[in-house]
Every structure is written in structure tokens, then in C-alpha cells.
Amino acid sequence: MRWLIRPPVATACRLLAAAALLLAGCSSSQDPQTLTFWTFGREGEAVVKLLPAFEREHPGIHVNVQQLPLSAAHQKLLTAFAGNSTPDLCQLGNTWLPEFVAIKALEPLQQRVAASTAVQPDDYFAHIWSTNLIDGTLYGVPWYVDTRLLFYRRDLLKAAGFDAPPRDWAEWRRMLAALSHPDRGTYGILLPTNEYEQLMSLALQQSEPMLRDGGRYGNFRSPGFKRALSFYVDTFRLRQAPAITAVEAGNPWEEFGRGVYAFYFSGPWNIGEFRQRLPANRENEWATAPLPGPDGGVAGAAGGASLVVFRRSTHKDQAWALIEYLSRPDVQQRFYDLLGDMPARRSAWDGGSLRTDPKVQAFRQQLENVKATPPVPEWEQIANEMQLVAAQAVAGELSVDEAAAEMDRRADRILEKRRWVLDHSRATEAAP
């Protein structure tokens, strides 16, 4: 009989306790010291391990980390902005930054950086830092960085008679030719035709920007872009890369390991992937190299994520304290050890595993020479259209000149509203 009565009592007690906890939870979310921090992808798993130390240093602040899948992040952020429910701070890809600045969602951070001892702009990779400046105002602090470069099979290159990775496009082309045997199903490189980052990286190596007149019109008909597009399209026409999408490529890591591709054009997260998927005794067979420039030199696309504070946040000081903490070189090193996301600060690279790991040196070299994508909110859409047209050129439906003209036409159409807004706001500002 006792046993029959007791469980419901215990359950009721537990329910009461849960309700009390829930109430406590509600009241603490109104507490000015609870920060909402949105992260995307795997960063959230790693950052929660860094937060206990922060909360010990700032006993009054509790950080509530919410992890969102990367594929839904953009939509979720815009919906939150439209619904007036943005977090206090979040990580934001630096190519997304212009868009959120354009909708006035972000808090300028210039003054806080100037007053800060923890965040030293000089210590950051200069070009990465500059991606956070929109019209001269700072809106984010770089958190981690990435850039796409070449992973290559050292042993395959050696067998083909090359001792070093390519230094310019001509040499790269010779290596691709020597390593491609489409009849045997092996190719020099994998360039998924649905990813724009590869072509964009080649285009950023040119002196001409991809948009002109302050981002009012496309500039894809410039000689520089056409050179990049020709190189890209030729790689497929010469059958040095298969014309497949990432969906069809399936598992590129295993295939790279089997020698299906001698080069793989991708970002730093793949160091971990390759270490995990390829046997440890083959570690010396693959290496990384900076992206060769058209005539030598090094350049690539500036990628990565920054930490931003939202304009509607009511805890901006606390959010800034968290940004300062996450920007400390020792915390950045721990973050790298946890996840492999590369630190944005040079001093974080001078110690720990980053200094000794040969695979990351190419990234450091290229990070000093990266270039930002055009800082317009429409860039992602334009880059997508650029890739769609480029894929048509790869399929042989368009010549390089036709493709460039089509890209300009599509970019100009997408930028129509931007031109109107720019001219309109100038007119209203000039009127009073």
C-alpha cells in the first residue's frame, strides 16, 4: 500500500520542483545578466566548453548558447530580425555581414575596440579585419578565419615529376594535365560545379573587382574575370576535372585518398576530415599549399566568421565582455584545439599546435593575402547566379564572353534595388 501511494507523491514533488525550476528559469531570463548567444554549425559544441571559464571570471553573467544548423542560419537570423527577436550576440559569416549592416541589425563596435585592451586590431590578419568594416564603420570582430586553398597528394605529384606545389597557373595547368587520366577515372582536381567559392577565389586573384561603381553594377566583363573564368572552364574542357556537383561527388575524402583527385580545392575544416578519414601512416602523402596566383604570388578569398552584437540587444556591455574573452589569444588557441577553426589573431598562431603543424602553414601564408568579397547584401545571390552561368559555360552551352555578359546582366538586375536605394537615400539626405 505504501508503495502504491508513494510514487504519485514523489511525482508531484518532482513536478513542483520542475515548475519551480521553470519559474526560476523564466525569471533569470529577465535578469539583465543572461546573454543569448547564437552559434551556427559545430562552433556551438566547442564554445560551450570555453564558457565555464568566462562565467567564473564574470560571476554576474550567464551565457545561453543556442546552436542552429548552418543551413538554416541565414533564414533564422532574418526571421528573428523581422520578428524583433534577435539574440544579444552571434557569430556571422563575414560575407553575410554587409547584408545585416544594410538592414541596420548590427551595433557599431568602433568605440568599444578603441577602448579595449583585449582586442588589438593590429594583431588581426589585416584583410580579414577589413571585411568587418562597412563604409568605414566596424561592425564585427573576427572570430575564426578560413580561406580556400589546395590540398594535394604529394606522392602523386612526385611520381609525375613535380617536387613542389604549383606557383602559378601555367605550372598548375601542367600538373593537372600530367595527373589527369579521365579514361582511368582519375582527375587532376575536384571542382564541384554547384559551389561558387572556387571560381570566386580565382576571380579574387585578379586586380579588377567583380562589381563596379560602389557595387552598383556587375564587372564580370573585365579582362581579369574573363581570365579566371577561362582557366576555370578550361579545366573541365581539358577533362582535368569532372563536371559533377558536390552531391554527386559524394565522399571526396576517400576518393582523394585513393588518388581519384590529386588536388582538392577547399578550406581548413578538411585538415581534420583528412586526418580522421585517411590512415595515420599516410599523413605524409598529402599536404596543403597556398592557391597559386595567375602569375605567381598568393591570394585567396577571405572567409570565416565574426562576432557581432545586435542593435536591439539590451546587454551590449556583457556581450562585448564575451567577445573580448573569446578574442583572447589563449582562448582562440583552445578553440582551435577543440574544433580546428583557425584563429583570427596572429599571436594565437605563434604558440601551441598551430606553430608546429605543417598542414596549417599554407593557410597562415594565404591569410596574409586574402581579399574580401564585394561588400553588398546581394553578394551571395550574385555569386550563386555567377556559378549557374559558369556551370552553363562548363557544360559548353555558353562561351566565356557570353557567360561574362550574362553574369553582368543578371548582377545588374539583382542590384537594381540597391542602385535605387543608394540614389534615393542620397537624394533625401541632400534635400534638407
Comparing CB distances to another protein, the nearer of 347 and 381 is: 381
C-alpha cell at 170: 601555367
As a residue count, the chain comes to 432
Which stretch in 36-44, 72-80, 313-321, 328-336 sits in contact with another protein by CB under 8 A? 72-80
Please enumerate in sequence order all residues whose Cβ is within 8 A of that of 202, keeping only pairs 6 or more positions apart, or say none.
228, 231, 232, 291
Q: Which of 131, 147, 193, 270 binds another protein (CB under 8 A)?
A: 193
Signed CA dihedral, 385, 387, 392, 393: sign only: positive
Query: Considering beta carbons, is residue 119 or 191 the nearer one to another protein?
Result: 191
Is residue 186 close enough to count as binding another protein by CB under 8 A? no
Task: Select the residue interacting with another protein from 46, 65, 102, 238 (CB under 8 A).
Answer: 102
Question: Which of 354, 382 has the CB closer to another protein?
Answer: 382
Q: Which of 168, 213, 248, 401 binds another protein (CB under 8 A)?
A: 248
The half-sphere exposure of 33 on its side-chain side, counting CA atoms within 13 A, is: 7
Given 90, 94, 96, 99, the residue binding another protein (CB under 8 A) = 99
Taking CB under 8 A as the rule, does residue 345 contact another protein? Answer: no
The answer to whether residue 388 forms part of the interface with another protein (CB under 8 A) is yes
Closest distance between another protein and the C-beta of residue 75, in Å?
6
Residue 50 near another protein by CB under 8 A: no
Distance CA 314, CA 365 (A): 40
Name which of 128 and 249 has its Cβ closer to another protein.
Answer: 249
Cα separations in angstroms, 385 against 201, 366, 396: 16, 27, 17
Question: Which single residue is written with the C-alpha cell 553588398?
Answer: 376
Q: Select the residue interacting with another protein from 217, 392, 405, 419 (CB under 8 A).
A: 392
- Within the chain, how many helices (H) and strands (E) appear? 21, 16
CB of 189 to another protein, least distance (A): 17
Residue 159 or 421: which CB sits closer to another protein?
421
For every residue of 131-144, DSSP letters joined together read TTEETTEE--EEEE
Choose the stretch contacting another protein; rule: CB under 8 A; options: 173-181, 232-240, 277-285, 389-397.
Answer: 389-397
State the binding string over 399-418 for another protein (x if CB under 8 A, else -).
------------------xx
Kindly determine how many residues on this chain lie close enough to bind another protein according to the rule CB under 8 A. 28
Considering the rule CB under 8 A, would residue 244 count as an interface residue with another protein?
A: yes
> Which of 105/202 has CB closer to another protein?
105
279-338: which residues touch another protein (CB under 8 A)?
none
State which of residues 81, 217, 253, 269 lies at the interface with another protein (CB under 8 A): 81
Measure Cα distances from 382 to 204, 270, 283 in Å: 15, 26, 38
Within 250-378, residue ranges assigned H as helices are 252-258, 269-277, 316-326, 329-339, 346-349, 353-356, 358-367
Residue 184 touching another protein (CB under 8 A):
no
Single out the residue of 48, 50, 65, 78 in contact with another protein (rule: CB under 8 A): 78
Task: Work out which of 53, 103, 126, 170 binds another protein, going by CB under 8 A.
Answer: 103
Query: Is the CB of 71 or the CB of 353 nearer to another protein?
Result: 71
List CB contacts of 300: < 8 A, sequence separation 6 or more. Answer: 147, 148, 149, 201, 204, 205, 290, 291, 366, 369, 370, 371
State the residue for C-alpha cell 597562415: 364
Pick 344 or 393: Cβ nearer another protein:
393
**Which of 233, 227, 229, 206 lies closest to 374, judged by CA?**
206
CB 48 within 8 A of CB 65: yes
Stretch that binds another protein, among 97-105, 111-119, 228-236, 289-297 (CB under 8 A): 97-105
Specify the pairing of strand 342-343 against strand 141-146.
Answer: antiparallel
Which residue in 430, 413, 1, 411 sits closest to 210, CA to CA?
411
377 binds another protein (CB under 8 A): yes
Q: How far is Cα 416 from Cα 2, in angstroms, rounded to an integer?
A: 77
Binding residue for another protein, selected from 75, 85, 137, 399, defined by CB under 8 A: 75
Minimum separation from the CB atom of position 105 to another protein (A): 8
Which SS3 state, helix, strand or coil, does residue 391 take? Answer: helix
CB of 89 to another protein, least distance (A): 19
- Interface residues with another protein (CB under 8 A) are 74-75, 78, 81-82, 99, 102-105, 193-194, 244-245, 247-248, 250, 377, 381, 388, 391-392, 395, 417-418, 420-421, 424
